[in-house]
Amino acid sequence: MTTDEKYMWRCLSLAHKAMGYTYPNPLVGSVIVHNGQIIGEGWHTKAGEPHAEVNAISSVKDKNLLKESTLYVSLEPCAHFGKTPPCADLIIEKEIPRIVIGCTDIHSKVSGKGIERLQQAGREVVLGVLEEECQALNVRFFTFHSRKRPYIILKWAQTADGFIAPEHKDTNTPVWISNDFSQQLTHLWRAQEEAILVGKNTIIKDNPSLTTRHWVGNNPLRLVIDADHSLPASSAIFQGGNTVVFTSKEVSNTSNVSFVPLSSGLSMPEQVCNYLYEKQIQSLIVEGGTQVLQQFIEKGLWDEARLFVGNSQFLKGTKAPLLQANLVKIHNIGGDHLFIYKNSSSDL
């Protein structure tokens, strides 16, 4: 590992602290090093708040050392006025001589402009240190701006014999396939994504609230497919926060429920993606059921699939979705097996 890679790893670690909180901005971490010692570091915590470079520079006690230091940042510094001033200008103002950048920013307002401004000011700029890792950190941001749709994660749990629900159950409370650890991990994931989607049958069978009650973090925007507008208003998904319902019926919005018309011109996954892109929502986790998940799979509109396999068997019931994709990781989560798949056709 090179010295530059060592400090870029620290940038990535810092940036990840704000996972789920910076939308619509990317995750960014920054470290300032003087004579082999970190003298300042920071990360972007929330949209509208100071950027990572600003926080790192502010944390340096002796500002005179900046003129002899290297600034590391996981994403290209901005060069435009948004909610905050350009970071490239601040770096130049503080006379920092060397800047190491993980990856360039593909956003049209930034792309290459921050690097160009630093170079024009006579600064030494090093590009592409841990570039793949820095791009992977902001895969949601990059997917949204390059593919004009949210980053899509498919998630479900299935039994050892391949079912996601039993044939019959007496109540609309969930029949858990995964264990408590897997369920808590699911709530962490919900806190990291901007929106969550299920179909009508999942609401009828399980009555989920789709919140992050088992983890600290923001609740995602809840989406449900209810083409015939038949779900009862008492469903848990309509309580509390905001919910969006995709339906073929003409229905007026309420204080916390918005109704979006489904048309015959595009598939359901395409219409969901278009709506979320229009609303500037960068990520979506699709939790079920089988029909909804399968439609996203068949359209190729997914980037990552997270599949829990528990130890129980149902023998009969609702079959799990069919997925043929690249298996990239397997984790043991307290006895459950978590399989992570990637959609190779959606690689940036």
Residues assigned a catalytic role = 53
β pairing state of 336-342 and 317-319 = unpaired
Residue 176 near residue 326 (C-beta atoms within 8 A): no
β-strand 326-333 against 336-342: which pairing, if any?
A: antiparallel
Question: Between vectors from CA 193 to CA 189 and to CA 198, what angle results, nearest 5°?
Answer: 85
Ranges of H-type helices in the chain: 3-16, 52-59, 87-93, 113-120, 131-137, 139-147, 180-192, 200-206, 268-278, 290-299
95: tokens are: 């006379």
Q: Exposed/middle/buried for 278, CB within 10 Å: 0-12, 13-18, 19+?
A: exposed
What the block records as the tokens of 301 is 């509109």
Residues 6+ apart with CB under 8 A from 278: none
